[in-house]
Copies of this chain bind each other. A is one copy, B any other.
Amino acid sequence: MPDANHIAALRGLIGDSAILTEPADMSAYETGARYDMGRAAFVARPASTEQVSAIVSYCVSHGIYLIPQSGNTGLVSGSTPDPSGAQGVLSLDRLIGTFELDTANRSLRVSAGLRLSELNARLEDAGLCFPIDLGADPRLGGMVATNTGGSRFLRYGDVRRNTLGLKVVLANAEGTVLDLTSELRKNNTGVDLKQLFIGTSGSFGVITECVLNLEPVQRQTATALLVPTSPESVSSLLVAMEASLGNLLSAFEGMSGNAIRAAFDHVPSLRNPFQGGTVPDYVILAEISRSNAPRRGEQSLDEVMETVLAESWEGEDQLLRDAFVGRPHEVWALRHALSEGVRHKGRLIAFDLSFRRGDVMRFVERMKRELPLNFPGMDICHFGHIGDGGIHFNLVAGKDDARISQRAFECGLRAWVVDIAVREFGGSFSAEHAIGRKNQAFYDQYTSTEIRKLAAGLKAITSPGALGSAIF
């Protein structure tokens, strides 16, 4: 447990005001975006890679456990301290000094503490963006540590795909600064070590600087809400739209009727685009987009969408029951309201799963059949990224459902869902939220002995010190 001497020493390293110890000051750093309430021994707010190194070196040498914290928007207890009061938080929120844009290279060298929204605001004049599209507004270091995906993965991929280089401080006695930054896109001169720090929840090192791939901003967009004829037709519809739309398709998101209704209930200002206001059982949000300004002679994207939907109807497959070519702003407002809507509907147990794309709806159908038999009284309010196999699988009980407060009930339910997803469907128990404390038990259970042994070996040679919420 860090004592007053430790605090004084840490203050000596990076300045008095950069080490917080007052409960009121620490509260925001101890509280997670949705679930967590921990207790920190201190919060360190270094403003440079060198200061991060000094803090890490000191803490490793003195056996002090550090939890790196970025935007603190995660949902898996990855960035908050546990309740012991023995862990220090290492916040990246003052690590914002570097911003070096190379427009010819479409790349950006940037401190890990910048928020995604600010990053993109500062890139607007150059017509570029970091193309990871999320509901939340995380800082970059955490996006790398969790390898976030988001709603336009189908076109742009995840953070891993868009990371050209990293600077990392290792949790060893020296606080080694590992410079893996590079603006190069093609470079095969050894092990791509930066990969070790992507998606590993900060346990292998503290990310202090990133070199990112940027993409041109989308300048034309059209969206449609599609009602498939059956759950089975969803994956055929995706394949058909990829074939007919090719490179234009930039999102293919699924939304359950339950989730949509929850969003309408929670945000009354949302417009209901469905005929007679009746929300279908399941709706697909399809987006097509282009990064060029409209060109002489070019067909508009609304026309393209209408042509392609007409073809879908003319086809023999009967994949669509209904479709609404929507206003992009309204359609995405609905999509982004689902998460909060579901959360306010009742007591929520949320899963971040992924499957082979063709298995997503098979899993949902299986759950619809078997969940009521095993855990009656839970509403399935799923939505997610069919285009890449991801699904935010949410179960909601009534606000006064007492079972949800019982740890055994929640654990049993979680274990049952995850076991079917992982063992029977070959799915993932964490598609884009990484591990954190929340998924640790699933990591321990579903990771093979060989892989766990290798991961522990990697941890030992990179950051042997106590760093990060995930235990490898």
What residues make up the interface of A, taking CB atoms closer than 8 Å to B?
Answer: 102-107, 127, 146-147, 149, 153, 155, 157-158, 160-161, 176, 178-180, 182-193, 195-196, 198-200, 204, 216, 219, 235-236, 238-239, 242-248, 290-293, 295-299, 303-304, 307-308, 354-358, 385, 388-390, 426-435, 439, 442-443, 446-448, 450-451, 454-455, 457-458, 461-462, 472
A188 contacts B147, CB within 8 Å? yes
Q: Can you name 12 extra interface pairs (CB under 8 A) apart from A190-B451, A244-B293, A298-B299?
A: A161-B161, A178-B450, A178-B454, A186-B389, A187-B428, A189-B429, A190-B455, A242-B291, A243-B292, A295-B308, A298-B304, A458-B461
Q: How many copies does the complex hold?
A: 2
Q: Pick the contact of A430 from B178, B189, B389, B446 — CB < 8 Å?
A: B189
CB closest residue in chain B, given A154: B185
Contacts known (A245-B292, A291-B247, A307-B296); A104 close to B358, Cβ less than 8 A:
yes
Contact A389:B299 (CB < 8 A) given known A146-B188, A188-B431: no
A431 contact set on B, CB distance < 8 A? 184, 186-188
Chain B residues, CB < 8 A from A307 = 295-297
Give 30 pairs: A residue, B residue, CB < 8 Å, sorted on A.
A104-B235, A104-B236, A104-B358, A105-B357, A149-B186, A155-B247, A178-B451, A180-B451, A184-B356, A185-B354, A186-B432, A188-B199, A189-B428, A189-B435, A189-B443, A189-B446, A190-B199, A191-B200, A191-B455, A192-B199, A193-B454, A216-B242, A243-B292, A244-B292, A246-B290, A246-B291, A247-B247, A247-B291, A295-B308, A297-B303
Are A430 and B356 neighbours in the complex by a CB distance under 8 Å? Answer: no
Q: Give Cα distance in the complex from A431 to B177, angstroms.
A: 25
Which residue on B lies nearest to A126, using beta carbons? B239
Chain B nearest CB, measured from A215 CB (Å)? 9
Select which of B188, B246, B296 is within 8 A of A216 by beta carbon: B246
Q: How far is the CA of A199 from the CA of B190 in the complex (A)?
A: 7
User: Which residues on the B side are within 8 Å of A447 (C-beta)?
Assistant: 189-190
In whole Å, how far is A144's beta carbon from the nearest beta carbon of chain B? 11
Contacts of A297 in B (CB 8 A): 299, 303, 307
Q: Report B-chain residues with C-beta under 8 Å of the C-beta of A105.
A: 356-358, 389
- Say whether A243 contacts B127, CB under 8 Å: yes
Q: Are B244 and A107 in contact (CB under 8 A)?
A: no
Across-interface contacts of A182 in B (CB, < 8 A): 426
Q: Give, as a whole number of angstroms, the nearest-CB distance from A398 to chain B.
A: 31
Q: How far is the CA of A158 from the CA of B246 in the complex (A)?
A: 20
List B contacts of A200 (CB < 8 A): 190-191
Which residue of the partner chain B has the closest CB to A157?
A: B161
Known A191-B472, A244-B292, A298-B299; judge A107-B198 contact (CB<8 A). Answer: no
- A432: which B residues are within 8 A, CB to CB? 186, 188
In the complex, the answer to whether B184 meets A354 with C-beta atoms within 8 Å is yes
Are B239 and A104 neighbours in the complex by a CB distance under 8 Å?
yes
A248 CB to closest chain B CB (Å) equals 7
CA distance A160 to B161 in the complex (A): 9
Given the interface contacts A187-B431, A389-B184, does A458 sit within 8 Å of B455 by beta carbon? no
Contact B235 A430, beta carbon cutoff 8 Å:
no
Whole-angstrom CA separation of A439 from B188 in the bound complex: 11
Q: How far is the CB of A456 from chain B (nearest CB, A)?
A: 9
Q: Which residue of B lies closest to A355 (CB)?
A: B184
From B104, B155, B290, B434, give the contact of A356 (CB < 8 A). B104
Bound Cα distance from A126 to B195, whole angstroms: 32
The CA of A104 and the CA of B234, in the complex, are separated in Å by 10
Docked CA distance A406–B186 (Å): 31
Question: Which B residues are CB-close (under 8 A) to A179?
Answer: 448
Q: Give the chain B neighbours of A355 by CB distance below 8 A.
A: 184
Cβ A457 vs Cβ B448 within 8 A: no
CA distance A160 to B316 in the complex (A): 38
Q: Which of A106, A190, A198 has the most CB of B within 10 A?
A: A190
Query: Is the pair A354, B192 in contact by a Cβ cutoff of 8 Å?
Result: no
A189 nearest in chain B by CB position: B430
B292 lies within 8 A of A186 (CB): no
Chain B residue with the shortest CB-CB distance to A234: B104
Distance in angstroms between the alpha carbons of A461 and B450 in the assembled complex: 11
Contacts of A158 in B (CB 8 A): 186
Residue from A149, A183, A462 whose CB has the most chain B CB atoms within 10 Å: A183
Collect the chain B residues with CB atoms within 8 Å of residue A102's CB. Answer: 356, 358
